[in-house]
Amino acid sequence: MTEGRDSRIDATFKRLRAAGRTGLVTFVSAGDPSLPRSADVLRALDRAGADVLEVGVPFSDPLADGPEIQRASERALAAGATLSGVLAMIAGVRADIAAPIVLFTYANPVARMGLEAFARRAADAGVDGVLALDLPIEEAGDLRATLAARGLDTIFLLSPTTTTERIRQAAALGRGFLYGISRLGVTGVRDRVADDARALAARVRAVTAMPLAIGFGISRPEHVAEVGAWADAAVVGSGLVRVIAEYGGRPDLLDRVADYVKWLKSEGTRAPV
């Protein structure tokens, strides 16, 4: 796939919009409880109907991860998970999965591997997009160009405090979709969707038609339905990571993961955007 043609992510969001359906983006920490088990979880998420699979590379010094994801990363690192190992795991599971795979990482592991080597290995593994959480838009040009040359989408993070000009920059440089966080602070399960999320979605819609996914604090079907009224997809991370933490050592882990995804999708279609 070359730049200018639809990626697997583009095709997914076009299908969602045509069907008037809210997409579900699921986040897991790769290597929790082990890399082979993470591969099984990704297969289960895909079979259960997750629209995009976001795979987190465990990192020792996270910025925005809440308690559930921090603990998952700690377990994964203790089990020996690395960026190289995560890419090898994705390569092994890619043929079994229809959904796009987005790698969620920090800049440091990418820099240590080397940008060119990272882009080549990610593309060879079947990764569709990359979100480097702590890389500012102003410094992302090399990453974006190198990934695009390999047919990979660069996805940018937006927050309620992101200026309109930076939203425009993210839309101009980014591909696939924009990832908006519903509130400032760290990830984690919440009772309700933050009020800032809708306002952020409105500001994004005012400057770009690029698909928008909203995350942070979304863990229930009513949250997914609410987000779907003004965004293309909801991102669920901590709630799913909590399920994996609770059942990771049990034989029914994959059934529990699938049941959680099916429950999240049980509220029906979204309102037109």
Mean residue pLDDT of the chain comes to: 89
CB 128 within 8 A of CB 7: yes
Over residues 211-232, the mean pLDDT reads: 90
**Cα 53 to Cα 45: distance, rounded to the nearest angstrom:** 8
Q: Which residues are catalytic?
A: 54, 65
pLDDT in tens, 125-151: 999 999 999 898 999 999 999 999 999
pLDDT bin (cut points 50, 70, 90) of residue 266 is confident
CB 153 within 8 A of CB 199: no
User: Comparing 5-9, 10-14, 201-205, which segment has the lowest mean pLDDT?
Assistant: 5-9
Q: Domain locations in the chain?
A: 8-264
Q: State the pTM of this model.
A: 0.90
pLDDT: which is higher, 192 or 76: 76
How far lies 270's CA from each of 201, 223, 251, 257, in Å? 15, 12, 34, 23
DSSP one-letter code for 57 = P
Assigned CATH topology for domain 8-264? TIM Barrel (3.20.20)
pLDDT in tens, 197-213: 889 999 999 999 999 99
Question: Is residue 2 pLDDT above 70, yes or no?
Answer: no
Q: Which residue has the tokens 């991102």?
A: 235
Strand order in the sheet with 157-158: 153-154, 129-132, 101-105, 52-56, 23-29, 233-236, 212-215, 178-181, 157-158
Question: Is residue 189 pLDDT above 50, yes or no?
Answer: no
pLDDT bin (cut points 50, 70, 90) of residue 36 is very high
Is the backbone peptide bond immediately before 33 cis, with ω within 30 degrees of 0? yes
